[in-house]
Amino acid sequence: MGSRLSEFLQERGHEVRHFSRSAKPKSKYRTYIWDVKAGTYDKAAFSEVTHVINLAGAGIADAPWTSRRKALIISSRTDSTQLLLKGILELGGSVKAYLAGSAIGYYGNRGEDIMTEDSKPGDGFLSESVKIWEAATQALTTATNLPTLTVRTGIVLSTKGGALPKMMLPLNVRTSTYFGNGQQWYSWIHIDDICQVFVRGVEDDTFRGLYNGVAPNPARNKTMAAALIEASGKAAILMPAPAFALKMTLGEMSHTVLDSTQVSAAKLEETGFTFQHPELSAAISDLLNRKV
């Protein structure tokens, strides 16, 4: 997501800088080294910077949820926020706004209920981790008095990473898999649309506050699995992965695929934001055709 957002911002004439754990001399973006664990950063990165965008965080489905992994999922988000707070307080006199990632995991497993930004948090690790993440963002906002945009992002669909390539793997053997009974709601968003939310956050000083970063048409898991078959153009069979098997295999991490979270995009739409890819099947087809 950070790479795609950087492309959009650069195309619109913005200078984009990256923090990275290592030097990247071949990058098309000026890159500065930081060490989140050690709490150090290249101070030159903040020179004349107007907007700080924090999308850092270990992937929630990249490794089993051991105690160590769960601690990393949280600390990678909170420690990066605290390091940026340090940098802004020390050197960020030119910074006008802070743009923060968050996640719809905040709402937890909510069945058929529709979640708005005012909904209460759910239960479980995902919800707890996002609450801690957002508390770190709030601490930065309070300490810096910066206008802040926080986006609770849904399942970002992209062929370059995240959930979509993993969901498409079964198509190689002519199947498409749904999880459990497949009736759980998945609140998704095309990568270009979520990037445009953050682009607006940079270019529109009035666009601040908390928003759900999801498409206006969430889909049930089984519907999404069927849409993958249609968009791919492959002959495939829709197959279930039983919930009990997922729980045995994935343990607590099975919540990432079995939880149902139907999230509203109404508040974002009310600001005049226009989704370029509001419908699931068309969004997946676009992603596959353009390899985005």
Write the pLDDT tens digit of every residue in 146-177: 999 999 999 999 999 999 999 999 999 999 99
The architecture (CATH level 2) of 2-290 comes to 3-Layer(aba) Sandwich (3.40)
Average pLDDT in the 216-234 region?
97
240-279 as b/e, with b when 16 or more CB fall inside 10 Å? Answer: ebeeeebeeebeebbbbbbbbbbbbbeebeeeebebebbb
Q: Is the pLDDT of residue 254 over 90?
A: yes
- The pTM of the whole model exceeds 0.75: yes
Average pLDDT in the 33-49 region?
96
Write the pLDDT tens digit of every residue in 81-113: 999 999 999 999 999 999 999 999 999 999 999
Average pLDDT in the 251-277 region?
98
Cα 81–Cα 87–Cα 91 angle in degrees, nearest 5:
150
Computed over every residue of the chain, the mean pLDDT equals 97
Domain boundary assignment for the chain: 2-290
Residue 25's pLDDT band (boundaries 50, 70, 90)?
confident
Write the pLDDT tens digit of every residue in 191-203: 999 999 999 999 9
